[in-house]
Amino acid sequence: MADSTVSFILITLSAILLRWCISLNPYSGAGKAPMFGDYEAQRHWMEITYNLPVKDWYENTTQNDLLYWGLDYPPLTAYHSYLCGMVSNWLNPEWVALNRSRGYESYQHKLFMRYSVLLADILIYFPALLMFFTANKTASGNAAFAVLCALIYPGLALIDYGHFQYNSVSLGLTVWAVMSLSKGHDLLGSIAFCLALNYKQMELYHAMPFFCYLLGSTLRNKDEIRIFKLAKIGVVVLGTFAICWLPFLNNKESALQVLQRLFPFGRGLYEDKVANVWCSVTVLVKLKQILTVDSLIKLCFCSTLVGLIPSSINLLFIPSIQRFKLALINSALVFFLFSFQVHEKSILIAALPVCLSLPEHPLASIWFLLISVSSMFPLLVKDQLVVPYFGSMLLFTIVTFLCLKPFETETFRKNKSLEWSMFLCFVLSVSGAQIQNVLSLIVRPPPTLPDLFPVLISVY
């Protein structure tokens, strides 16, 4: 067996071990009636999709109360829930008994749910990262290290295996899309990204770079008739969407109901204390009190559009894979910082292309990834994931510094003063975040400011 094969097997087993250690901890909403948390949301979707006809999955009916974790992700998530629901019913019908399984909790069911995440991870996300880094010439010689560092990124592991979600599916499909485009397989890349978008609508954060790269590279293509290639991409995109949405296209009302569930503008400007601009600005200016929902939506739309324009235009006129990856980071961050109805977990969408940039920009990538996990600390405290948070952060820091050696790049070798100044900034930044997190655990905020630390973490 080749050394590289052995390395990748050991890396995979190490990543699985990390995930399984995290999965031994509590999950979102454990024992917290009446709504419980995201774990119950995923279980409830299995219950609904397995027991009800497709036309009722997104409809408010006597059997499907949308106020109780109504399905609000695209059809591909619903199909995934249906498959998991079938297996659940086969193993134990009580897990998905219609209207009788709400808040169901048991050791066996938790084990099943954890395994379902791991299976999706191993089938989609793991091979996507492996293929990307081994196929990417810029990572040659560092492919194994890059895969290891990306797989042990604490953010995704803590949310999927602690909090409980299936982010690895949409993120893994996005990696497959980026990898396909990097190898010149534009049609396959388009299909993979459309599938990611049809699994989680938050993949819209990455949509503009995909559009600009595909359009820009097609317009510069001299080997094929441009209009013909654009037509092929258009057909592939529309065809993929049509297949995913087929059960809901029999009438206009069904399709509109799904769209309404995917974009619930009535929920508010942001979710909890998310580390974006609007949550931080609200500390000084109560935007929700002085602006209507329509005005807030327009403000978010204009701010996001302005932030997207520079990198999008640059990518459109000078398309390259390196610019594409940077545009993915920029686009996702712009959406996270300025768009409407942002969740703290949405930082994972920006973290994904940063993980893909680890070999080329090790220091900036490690720095960003550590801060991105710190931004979710209040959520992780709520889910009782403090110990795995600190443990996985320490592990990630040690492994990435040993493997990628971020301060031993050519730039720093030529400029020692720059190296020391950047090292100092890095230490102060990351230490500042962790000091805030520790203080939030040991210092009781004043009664008049109960959300003091979540707000400080958000602003930081």
Among residues 397, 402, 456, the alpha carbon closest in space to that of 432 is found at 456
**145: closest CA among 328, 326, 10?**
10
Query: What percentage of the chain reaches a pLDDT higher than 90?
Result: 76
Contact 125, 175 (CB under 8 A): yes
Say whether 64 sits in a helix, a strand or coil: strand
Nearest-CA neighbor of 126 among 157, 168, 167, 165?
168
- Give tens-digit pLDDT for 234-278: 999 999 999 999 999 988 888 999 999 998 777 777 777 788 888
Please state which of the ranges 13-27, 261-275, 295-309, 384-398 shows the lowest mean pLDDT. 261-275
How far is the C-alpha of 279 from the C-alpha of 272, rounded, in Å?
9
Region class of 269: left (phi > 0), else alpha (psi between -120 and 50), else beta? alpha
The whole-number pLDDT of residue 291 equals 85
pLDDT for 224: 67
The reported pLDDT for the residue numbered 114 is 96
- Per-residue pLDDT of 142-167, as tens digits, reads 789 999 999 999 999 999 999 999 99
CA distance 175 to 19: 20
First-residue to last-residue Cα distance in the chain? 48
Question: Can you give the pTM of this predicted structure?
Answer: 0.94
| pLDDT tens digits along 8-62 | 899 999 999 999 999 999 999 888 988 899 999 999 999 999 999 999 999 999 9
Among 99-113, 303-317, 441-455, which is the least confidently predicted range? 441-455
| Distance from chain centroid for Cα 299 | 24
Instruction: Please list the alpha-helical segments (H only) found in 69-136.
Output: 75-91, 107-120, 126-135
Each domain of the chain, given as residue ranges in start order, spans: 3-30+105-459
Q: How sure is the predictor about 416, in pLDDT bands with cuts at 50, 70 and 90?
A: confident
